[in-house]
Chain A
Amino acid sequence: NAGVTQTPKFRVLKTGQSMTLLCAQDMNHEYMYWYRQDPGMGLRLIHYSVGEGTTAKGEVPDGYNVSRLKKQNFLLGLESAAPSQTSVYFCASSWTGSPTYEQYFGPGTRLTVT
């Protein structure tokens, strides 16, 4: 099992450009999450999904959109990138939202917006 994979691993964008980050999991998990990690701020939840076809906003959703067309994939889109979106992005998945189930994290995508 690959677990949670993220594509790409690194990306540099110019301000105003758009891109999509792909997260895939092969564990048949219902829940999927996108976090961003910034120095001194830990991880903050951007958007999450409780199942195929459903998405919801997290703590810092502005400037991002997501889609969950297939259960195994969770896409994070930046329509018009800004320097404030320079960060490391982590995807995670879990069986359900219950605390008895661990969230499994991907390796991260390092995004720089110039």
Chain B
Amino acid sequence: AQRVTQPEKLLSVFKGAPVELKCNYSYSGSPELFWYVQYSRQRLQLLLRHISRESIKGFTADLNKGETSFHLKKPFAQEEDSAMYYCALMTTDSWGKLQFGAGTQVVVTP
């Protein structure tokens, strides 16, 4: 069965410092990977997805099939990046069904 692992429960960084959130998955096929974000008192929302090859709010994520990873990176963290981040996976034989990781809480301090 597929699985998504986010090893860090909490990541504390200073404003302006780089931030990297780790996401590893286990799936033998070709998955679709996503990052969702939940800001304080807001709804869970899509940040970016592998299929779109996009960069949102300065964040990027590269799918590394060899290492089965989809780490989220931003070169210069901002205070407004403080939030809960979830990595999620969708497989080709279960369209629509997202498998989420446990989440990483990011705190950016000035």
Contact = CB atoms under 8 A, between A and B. Distances in A.
Interface of A: 4, 31, 33, 35, 40-45, 48, 50, 58-59, 90, 92, 94, 96-100, 102-103, 105-108
A41 B51 CA distance: 25
Interface stretch (B12-20, B65-73, B75-83, B94-102): B94-102
Given A96-B95, A99-B90, A100-B51, A43 B9 contact: no
A99 B86 contact: no
B26 interface: no
A103 B45 CA distance: 8
B11 interface: no
Interface of B: 4, 6, 9, 32, 34, 43-46, 49, 51-52, 86, 90, 95-103
26 contacts: A35-B100, A42-B4, A42-B100, A42-B101, A43-B98, A43-B100, A44-B100, A45-B97, A45-B99, A48-B96, A50-B96, A58-B97, A92-B44, A94-B96, A96-B96, A97-B97, A98-B96, A99-B32, A99-B51, A100-B51, A100-B52, A102-B49, A103-B98, A105-B45, A106-B43, A107-B43
